[in-house]
């Protein structure tokens, strides 16, 4: 069979093959569409939407000054208008074009209009970039600062029930009354007060906690928008304590020394206003001064009026607040009081552990006694007993602090520190 006849038969068979004819028709249609498209509409203008905007601050004044972009309202994507053959521009994606913002006019902190330019970002060619929409974006730059502020706690509309008061507000969950805020320097400089504001708006009869929002104020008391800032917390729970107050007398506890019952004294104030939980306040009848160290009270250290002034503290629970206590002092009247030294020979031990014995290295202990002159003149060494404190001591030799007692003359006391050398076996 000749070659021409074979080719003729092959073509005849293909043209009578329905599957081949269908595929061939599609190919011809596509080729014709391309030919017509190119010949009839060779150029086309098209929008490439959603092209990301790139703002590169490296090597610019922005990075030199340590500034950052501090606004978030500018468009992050724009539309690029391109022109070219339909088959080319029709295939473009938003990643095939790069849009950059120019920082040429940014010379300091502030808000600037940045020109946008577009360029090809892929190997596709044969088209022209016509324009960018929008042509400019508005962007703010500033140095970003971070600062810690104290929280002012506010319970709006909180009113205590009759007979009760609202105490000092605090933050729940042992959080500190501070907050860390980060933001543009020009905005940070406007912050004067940071408050946690709880809207209570009712009469309260017991301690409770309330949700509070963080609110920023300027120096005029105007609320600032928080849109520029990052805050370490957006809200807290504020505890609103409902307390009770009571005025009570201040007393000196006679357990400090029997001499307190004989010496004349005056207090810098005789009453104190206490505040605390109602159940605790109701239990308190007086505020006592305890633990007065009489060893510091000496007739040789009086003022021109014969008075010895001693600082004092109240023995009240830590949960109770003394509201109006200011520098509490006791003024002892030591007029006609004198000091006198003795060699006390009545030596005893106290709190010596069972099974141990103790002996003093000396037959006496030198002590200084203070009291009214007429009593001191009558006191003898035999009227004094020295007790060496052996609490917690094991075998050994110790220099022990001593307590001086006179059962005969309870109006006197020991001045300074008396010590004794004691051997424990």
With vertex at residue 92, the alpha carbon angle to CA 91 and CA 93, rounded to the nearest 5 degrees, is 120
Q: Are 80 and 51 in contact, with CB atoms under 8 Å apart?
A: yes
Highest CATH level, class, for 337-424: mainly beta
Report how far residue 265's alpha carbon sits from residue 335's, in angstroms, rounded to the nearest whole number: 11
Which of these ranges, 139-143, 172-176, 197-201, 204-208, has the smallest mean pLDDT? 172-176
How far, CA to CA in Å, does 9 sit from each of 19, 72, 327? Answer: 17, 73, 125
Q: What is the overall mean pLDDT for the chain?
A: 90
Do 244-333 and 46-134 fall under one CATH topology? yes
pLDDT at 10: 60
Whether the predicted pLDDT of 281 surpasses 60: yes
- In this structure, CATH architecture of domain 46-134: Beta Complex (2.170)
| Percentage of the chain exceeding pLDDT 90 | 80
Given a cut of 80, whether residue 37 has pLDDT beyond it is: no
Output DSSP code: residue 113.
E
Q: Count CA atoms within 13 Å of residue 279 on its CB side.
A: 3
Is the pLDDT confidence value at 2 over 80? no
38 pLDDT exceeds 60?
A: no
Q: What is the pLDDT of residue 9?
A: 65
CA distances to 76, 117, 356 from 120, in Å: 18, 11, 100
The pTM is what?
A: 0.62
What does the pLDDT read at residue 105?
94
Residue 423 or 72, more confident? 423
Helices then strands, counting H and E runs in the chain, come out as: 7, 31
Where residue 52 falls (left for φ over 0; alpha for ψ -120 to 50; beta otherwise) is beta
User: pLDDT tens, 296-311?
Assistant: 999 999 999 999 999 9
Question: Which residues are registered as beta bridge partners of 183?
Answer: 145
What pLDDT is attached to residue 35? 61
Beta strand 385-389 with 346-350: parallel, antiparallel or unpaired? parallel
Instruction: Write phi, then psi, for 81 (nearest 5 degrees).
Output: -90, 125
10: left (phi over 0), alpha (psi -120 to 50) or beta: alpha
Q: What is the pLDDT of residues 325-355, one digit of tens each?
A: 888 999 999 999 999 999 999 999 999 999 9
**Angle between helix 18-40 and 3-15 (nearest 10):** 90
Look at residue 291 in the predicted model and tell me its pLDDT. Answer: 86
pLDDT tops 60 at residue 276: yes
Q: What is the pLDDT, as a whole number, of residue 90?
A: 87
DSSP category for residue 222: P
Band of pLDDT at residue 265, cut at 50, 70 and 90: very high
CATH of 144-240, one of 3.30.300.30, 2.170.130.10, 2.40.30.20, 2.170.120.40: 2.170.120.40
Give the mean model confidence (pLDDT) for residues 132-154. Answer: 95
**Residue 173 confidence (pLDDT) above 90:** no
* 137, pLDDT greater than 60: yes
DSSP 59: T
Class of domain 244-333: mainly beta
Return the bridge partners of 118, or none.
99
- Please determine, for residue 3, whether its predicted confidence score (pLDDT) is greater than 60: no
Q: In what order do the strands lie in the sheet with 358-360?
A: 346-350, 385-389, 396-405, 418-424, 358-360
Is 156:199 a contact under the CB 8 Å cutoff?
A: yes
Q: Is the pLDDT of residue 172 over 90?
A: no
The torsion defined by the Cα of 296, 300, 301 and 303, in degrees rounded to 10, comes to: 140
- Inter-residue contact 180 to 150 (CB < 8 Å): no
Q: Which residue has the tokens 């004092």?
A: 312
Cis peptide before 134 (omega within 30 of 0): yes
For residues 203-221, give the mean pLDDT: 95
Q: Judging by DSSP bridges, how do beta strands 271-276 and 178-184 pair with one another? A: unpaired
DSSP label at residue 189: T
SS3 call for 188 = helix
What is the per-residue pLDDT for 69? 93
Predicted confidence at residue 72, as pLDDT, reads: 82
Residue 155 CA to residue 240 CA, distance in Å, equals 7
Q: Is the pLDDT confidence value at 14 over 70?
A: no
CA dist 321 to 245, 267, 310, 315, 331, Å?
Answer: 9, 19, 22, 11, 24
What's the whole-number mean pLDDT along residues 148-175?
91
Q: Domain boundaries in the chain?
A: 3-40, 46-134, 144-240, 244-333, 337-424
- Lowest mean pLDDT segment, chosen from 22-36, 164-178, 257-271: 22-36
What pLDDT, on the 0 to 100 scale, is given for residue 30?
67
Q: Write the pLDDT tens digit of every residue in 75-117.
A: 999 999 999 988 888 889 999 999 999 999 999 999 999 999 9
Q: How does residue 7 score in pLDDT terms, banded at 50, 70 and 90?
A: low
Residues 226, 216 contacting (CB under 8 angstroms): yes
Mean pLDDT of 301-322: 93
State residue 21's pLDDT score: 62
Q: Do residues 129 and 96 touch, judged by C-beta distance below 8 A?
A: no
pLDDT tier, 182 (very low <50, low <70, confident <90, very high otherwise): very high
Average pLDDT of span 372-385: 96
Cα-Cα-Cα-Cα torsion 225, 229, 233, 235, nearest 10 degrees, comes to 10
Which tens digit of pLDDT belongs to each residue from 50-73?
999 999 999 999 999 999 999 888
């Amino acid at each position: 069979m000749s070659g021409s006849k074979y080719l003729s038969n092959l073509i005849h068979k293909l043209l009578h093959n329905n599957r081949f004819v269908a595929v061939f028709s599609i190919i011809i249609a596509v080729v014709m569409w391309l030919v017509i498209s190119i010949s009839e509409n060779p150029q086309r203008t098209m929008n490439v939407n959603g092209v990301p905007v790139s703002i590169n601050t490296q090597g610019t004044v922005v990075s030199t000054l340590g500034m950052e972009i501090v606004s978030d309202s500018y468009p992050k994507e724009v539309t690029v208008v391109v022109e070219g053959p339909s088959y080319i521009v029709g295939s473009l994606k938003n990643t095939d074009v790069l849009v950059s913002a120019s920082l040429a006019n940014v010379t300091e902190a502030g808000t600037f209009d940045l020109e946008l330019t577009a360029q090809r970002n892929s190997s596709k060619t044969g088209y022209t970039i016509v324009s960018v929409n929008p042509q400019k974006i508005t962007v703010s730059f500033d140095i970003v600062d971070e600062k810690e502020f104290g929280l002012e706690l506010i319970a709006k509309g909180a009113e205590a029930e009759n007979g009760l008061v609202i105490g000092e507000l605090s933050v729940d969950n042992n959080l500190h009354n501070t907050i860390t805020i980060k933001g543009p320097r020009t905005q940070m400089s406007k912050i004067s007060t940071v408050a946690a504001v709880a809207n209570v708006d009712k009469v309260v009869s017991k301690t409770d906690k309330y949700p509070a929002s963080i609110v920023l104020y300027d120096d005029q008391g105007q609320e600032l928008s928080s849109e520029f800032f990052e805050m370490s917390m957006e809200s807290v729970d504020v505890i609103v304590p409902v307390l009770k107050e009571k005025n009570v007398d201040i007393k000196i506890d006679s357990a400090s020394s029997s001499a307190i019952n004989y010496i004349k004294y005056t207090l810098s104030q005789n009453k104190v206003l206490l505040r605390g939980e109602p159940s605790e306040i109701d239990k308190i009848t007086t505020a006592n001064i305890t633990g007065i160290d009489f060893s510091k009270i000496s007739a040789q250290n009086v003022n021109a009026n014969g008075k010895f002034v001693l600082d004092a503290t109240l023995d009240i629970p830590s949960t109770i607040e003394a509201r109006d206590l200011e520098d509490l002092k006791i003024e002892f009247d030591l007029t006609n009081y004198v000091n006198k030294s003795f060699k006390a020979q009545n030596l005893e031990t106290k709190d010596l552990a069972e099974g141990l014995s103790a002996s003093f290295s000396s037959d006496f202990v030198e002590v200084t006694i203070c009291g009214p002159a007429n009593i001191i003149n009558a006191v003898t060494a035999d009227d004094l007993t020295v007790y060496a404190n052996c609490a917690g001591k094991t075998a050994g030799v110790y220099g022990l602090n001593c307590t001086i007692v006179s059962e005969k003359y309870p109006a006197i006391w020991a001045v300074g520190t008396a010590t004794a050398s004691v051997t424990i076996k």
